[in-house]
Amino acid sequence: MFPHKTWWSAAAALILGFAPSVPALALEPFTHVVIDPGHGGKDPGSHAYGLVEKNLTLDLAHRLQRILTSKGITTTLTRTTDEFISLENRAKMADSSAKTIFISLHFNAHTDRSISGTETLYWPGSAKGRELASYIQSELGRRLVTRNRGFKPGRLKVLEETKCTAALVECGFISNRWESQRCGAEWFRQILAEEIAQGILRYREG
């Protein structure tokens, strides 16, 4: 994501800390996942150390799609190539079918290059979004040795526009030199995809 959006993240992390796992809610089973590779086309997203966010998110989205498909879950990508899709249209794709959840994938950046870690965001007040985010974030900390920045509410446009259960995953800070090397590695993105998928499957199980 762009650096300007992360100014509140550090403050929110200090205020909220690492929130405990939320109790399971009565969930309607979902059968479809809309995977949103953040940015694209004329909107490159963050860029640092030779990496461009829109390229990383698209690769990660394809990896996540393959895993979920192998588990019998149908999926749709909001974009399959390097093209610009408005946030409103991404949300419309998520809301076009019933029993769907929405996962938006991003890589973070900050002017303070020492900041690193993963975090998962949900729309404030969305109980199901909070639970989905909690499951995904808890999985991201199992195999990846990086700072766990927790799951937290975020007033982001794509989450606001999406009516179904949604979460936005920030998969690391490419503005951090050490973390950018990992984000640029295929093995790292494959683990990210596997862990995000596991979080989604845990949410489905309730």
Q: What is the pLDDT of residues 102-154, one digit of tens each?
A: 999 999 999 999 999 999 999 999 999 999 999 999 999 888 888 999 999 99
Q: What are 51's strand-pairing partners?
A: 48
Note the pLDDT of residue 5. Answer: 46
Supply the CATH classification number for the domain 30-205. 3.40.630.40
Note the pLDDT of residue 28. Answer: 58
Mean pLDDT of 26-52: 91
User: What is the per-residue burial (b if ≥16 Cβ within 10 Å, else e) of 52-67?
Assistant: bbbbbbbbbbebbbeb
d(CA 124, CA 180): 29
d(CA 197, CA 3): 27
Where exactly are the structural domains of the chain?
30-205
d(CA 15, CA 89): 33
Catalytic residue of the set 170, 194, 195, 205: 170
Note the pLDDT of residue 144. Answer: 84
- Rounded to two decimals, the pTM is 0.86
Note the pLDDT of residue 23. Answer: 44
Judged by DSSP in three states, 64 sits in helix
Kindly report the backbone phi and psi dihedral angles of residue 72, in degrees, each rounded to the nearest multiple of 5, phi listed first.
85, 15
In the predicted structure, residue 14 carries a pLDDT above the cut 50: no
In the predicted structure, residue 56 carries a pLDDT above the cut 90: yes
In the predicted structure, residue 16 carries a pLDDT above the cut 50: no
In the predicted structure, residue 36 carries a pLDDT above the cut 70: yes
Report percent pLDDT > 70 for the chain: 86
Tell me, yes or no, if 170 is annotated catalytic. Answer: yes
